[in-house]
Amino acid sequence: MSPRTQDQLQQLRETRKQHILEAALKVFAAHGYDGATINMIAKEAGIAKGLMYTYYESKEKLVEELIRFGLKKAASFMQEKPFHHLTTRKAFEESLRHMIDLFLQETDFWRLYTMLALQPNLASKFKKESMAFVEQYLGIYIAYFQKRKSKDPMAEAMLLGTIIDGLMFDLLIAPAEYPLDDVIKMVVKKFA
């Protein structure tokens, strides 16, 4: 077998890092930040504990990259079409459903994000990325409320954001019992 090229080595490194992030997400979501160990993450990833430190110097650095990666993924999801032209009731409802789909596809990430957001020493590590994401999604709804000639588009967007946050938190706690369609209809009735 011939030696690997630099590009192949870089690709292998990126693939392994992604695999470690996926394993870490499972472990952090199941055990929380404090309950998770590098050993548990290495075991989930199927690699030696020592190899973990080749990619991430600490558990804190690993979780920071995981949160940044998840927020970046969420931000790109928000760039998709349902958010670009919110002018009709139908488009508003589609945007809500799209936002909820984002959440439901990544519940482990959002569970971890919620846990970490409540720990100031850790939340400060990714505050910049969090604020950028919040500004992005609030901006979409501020523009929507401006088009609707709201007296206070920022306050309406923040109220909607608070409702969405609460909805998502409730879905984390009791997803099977949550009357999602009924709640979406009420939110649409209130804001569209």
Closest CA to 70 of 129, 27, 26: 129
Q: CATH 1.10.357 occupies which residues in the chain?
A: 66-191
Closest CA to 140 of 82, 76, 190, 71: 82
Q: Is the separation of the CB atoms in 74 and 61 below 8 Å?
A: no
**What are the tens digits of pLDDT across the range 149-184?**
999 999 999 999 999 999 999 998 888 889 999 999
Cα distance between residue 125 and residue 133, in whole Å? 15
pLDDT value of residue 81: 64
Q: What is the dihedral of CA 93, 96, 97, 99, to 10 degrees?
A: 160
Determine the 3-state secondary structure of 119 from DSSP: coil
Q: CATH 1.10.10.60 occupies which residues in the chain?
A: 1-57
Angle at 94 between CA 91 and CA 95, to 5 degrees: 90
Instruction: Between 3 and 123, name the one with better pLDDT.
Output: 123
The DSSP secondary structure of 5-73, one letter per residue, reads PHHHHHHHHHHHHHHHHHHHHHHHHHHHHHH--HHHHHHHHTS-HHHHHHH-SSHHHHHHHHHHHHHHH
Residue 9 has pLDDT above 90, yes or no: no
Cα distance between residue 53 and residue 7, in whole Å? 22
CA 152 to chain centre: 27
Q: In the CATH scheme, what is the code of domain 1-57?
A: 1.10.10.60
Class of the CATH-defined domain 66-191: mainly alpha
**What are the tens digits of pLDDT across the range 82-104?**
666 788 888 889 888 988 988 89
Instruction: Between 42 and 119, name the one with better pLDDT.
Output: 42
Q: What's the whole-model pTM score?
A: 0.82
Which phi and psi (to 5°) does residue 49 adopt? -55, -40
**What are the tens digits of pLDDT across the range 113-137?**
998 888 888 888 888 888 988 898 8
Confidence grade of residue 2 (pLDDT, cut at 50, 70, 90):
low
Q: Is the separation of the CB atoms in 28 and 66 below 8 Å?
A: yes
